[in-house]
Amino acid sequence: MNNDTKYNDLQIFSTIYGNLSSMGCAASQETDPLSTASRIIDKKLQQERKELEKETAVKLLLLGTGESGKSTLLKQMKIIHGLGFTNDEMIMYRSAIWLNLLTCYQNLTIAMDNLKIPYGFVPPDPKDLEAMELPEEPDINPPSSQQDDSNGPRDSSLDRPPIIKHDKLARYAALQYENLGGKAQVGEVPDAARMMKTSDLLVSSMFSFSNGEPFPADRVAGLDAIWNDSGIQYCFQRAAEFQLIESCAFLMQHRHRICGLGYKPTEEDILSARIMTTSVSETRFRIKDVIYRVFDVGGQKSQRKKWAPLFEDVDAIIFVVAISSYNQVCFEAKDTNRSKFLILYV
Ligand SMILES: Nc1nc2c(ncn2[C@@H]2O[C@H](COP(=O)(O)OP(=O)(O)OP(=O)(O)O)[C@@H](O)[C@H]2O)c(=O)[nH]1
Ligand SMILES: [Mg+2]
C-alpha cells in the first residue's frame, strides 16, 4: 500500500476504467457497466476498510485559530514523511506565493496611510525623541463593535485591541505625516506604492504570471523601491497593528528569485505560502505500522462550526498556537486579540 492511502476520484475512475477494459466490458456487451463500476467501488472500499482494520489507525485533528500554522504543520509532516508535493500543488503554491508577495506590498502601503507614516521616515535618535515635546494622542482604540459568537466566559479587557496608546515614536511619525499635508512625500517611492495599491494591476499580474510571462521589470523595481524605503521598514515593525502575513519578511528577502523567470517554489517557499483553509481535508501517513489520519480545518470563526463532526472517534488533537499572535488582532474581527480564543478555551 502506498504511503498516502486515500483514493481520489481520479484514481477510482482510472481503476474502474482499467478494470472494465481488462474485463472486456464495453457498452455493447451484456454486462451493465454501471453496476460493474458500483461493484468495483464497493470492493475497493471493502478492501480499504479491511486494511485499516488490520492496522492501527490514529485519527489526529489539527485545531487552532486562523493563521496559527495548522496547514504549515501539515506541510511539514508531508515533507518529513516523504509524501512531497504533486505538480498541481506546486503550481498552486507558486500562484499563492506571488499573490502573498503582492498582497504584502499592498497591505504595507495601505498601512502607511492608516498609521500615518511618511515615506522616507527615519526614526530620530532616542535621546532627541525623549527631549521632544509632542502633543498627546487620544486613545486610538475603536469601541468593541463585534459581538463574539462564542459562549465562553467574557473578559472585557480581552475585547480591546492590543495597542492602547501609540508610543512617542509613532506620534512623532504621525506629526511628520501631518506636516506633509496628511499625504506621503512626492517621489519615486509613493509612485511605486500607488502602483502596487491598484488591485487591478495585482490581478492582471497574476494572470500574466500564470501564463508563464516574466514578472514585469517595472513591477520588480516598484517592489524594490517600496521595501527599501525606511518609512516602510518602520511600518513593517508595527505589523501587529494591521494584517500582514507572517512570512512577509521571508518573501521580501527572496523577491527577486520569486519574481524570476521559470520560478519553481522550494520547500521553504511552500512552507511560507499562506492559503486560508476553508474546507476540511484528510491526509493519511504511514509511520512504521501506524496509519495517521490527519484532519486539517479552517481556524477562522466562520470555519469553526465544521469542527464538531470531526470529534467522533478522535484519538489525538494538536492545538496549534502562533507565539507571534500575542499582540495581533483576528483577521475576521479586528477588535479581538488573536490569543483570546486560546486564553478562554484552553
Ligand atoms: N516566521 C514563521 N512563520 C511561520 C511559522 N509557522 C508558520 N508560519 C507562517 O504562518 C502562516 C500560517 O498559516 P497557515 O499554516 O495557513 O495557518 P492555519 O492555521 O492553517 O490558518 P487557517 O487555514 O486560516 O485556519 C504561514 O504564512 C506560514 O508561512 C514559523 O515557525 N515561523
Ligand atoms: Mg489552514
Q: What is the domain-level CATH number for residue 64?
A: 3.40.50.300
Cα 183 to averaged position of ligand 2 atoms, centre (Å): 37
HSE-CB at 16 with a 13 A cutoff on CA atoms is: 20
Ligand nearest to the CA of 322: 1
Q: How many Å is the Cα radius of gyration of the chain? A: 26
Query: Is residue 268 assigned to a domain?
Result: no
Cα 68 to averaged position of ligand 1 atoms, centre (Å): 5
Shared-domain flag, residues 37 and 68: no
Look at residue 270 and tell me whether its pLDDT is greater than 50. Answer: yes
Written as one letter, the residue type at 156 is: S
Residues 6+ apart with CB under 8 A from 80: none
Shared-domain flag, residues 40 and 165: no
Ligand nearest to the CA of 275: 1
Question: Residues lining ligand 1, judged by CB closer than 6 Å?
Answer: 64, 66-72, 245-247, 271-272, 274, 276-277, 298-300, 320
Shared-domain flag, residues 233 and 169: yes
Cα 295 to averaged position of ligand 2 atoms, centre (Å): 11
Shared-domain flag, residues 251 and 138: yes
In this prediction, residue 7 has a pLDDT band, given cuts at 50, 70 and 90, of very low
Tell me the best of 62, 92, 103, 246 to mutate to test the pocket of ligand 1, counting ligand atoms within 8 Å of each CB and taking the most.
246
Residues 298/71, Cβ–Cβ less than 8 Å: no
* Closest atom of ligand 1 to CA, residue 272: 29
pTM exceeds cut of 0.80:
no
Cα 72 to averaged position of ligand 2 atoms, centre (Å): 7
Look at residue 20 and tell me whether its pLDDT is greater than 50. Answer: no
Query: Is residue 259 assigned to a domain?
Result: yes
**Sole residue written with cell 502596487:** 196
Please state the residue numbers annotated as binding site for GTP: 67-72, 271-277, 296-300
Shared-domain flag, residues 164 and 244: yes
Best mean pLDDT range from 237-251, 314-328, 331-345? 237-251
Complex ipTM value:
0.96
Please state the residue numbers annotated as binding site: 67-72, 271-277, 296-300
CATH code of residue 154: 1.10.400.10
* pLDDT, position 29: 46
Look at residue 115 and tell me whether its pLDDT is greater than 70. Answer: yes
Shared-domain flag, residues 45 and 190: no
Nearest CA to ligand 1 atom 9: 246
Average pLDDT over residues 300-304: 85
Please state the residue numbers annotated as binding site for Mg(2+): 71, 277
The C-alpha atoms of residue 64 and residue 304 are separated, in whole angstroms, by 9
Number of domains in the chain: 3
What does pLDDT average to over the chain?
76
Nearest CA to ligand 1 atom 10: 246
**How many residues appear in the chain?**
346
Residues 265/97, Cβ–Cβ less than 8 Å: yes
* Closest atom of ligand 1 to CA, residue 75: 15
* pLDDT, position 114: 87
- Domain with 256, as residue range(s), is 88-263
Cα 332 to averaged position of ligand 2 atoms, centre (Å): 15
Cα 13 to averaged position of ligand 1 atoms, centre (Å): 34
Query: Is residue 270 assigned to a domain?
Result: no
Query: What H or E segment, with its residue span, contains residue 287?
Result: strand 281-287
Nearest CA to ligand 1 atom 22: 66
Shared-domain flag, residues 145 and 284: no
Shared-domain flag, residues 240 and 185: yes
Residues 325/44, Cβ–Cβ less than 8 Å: no
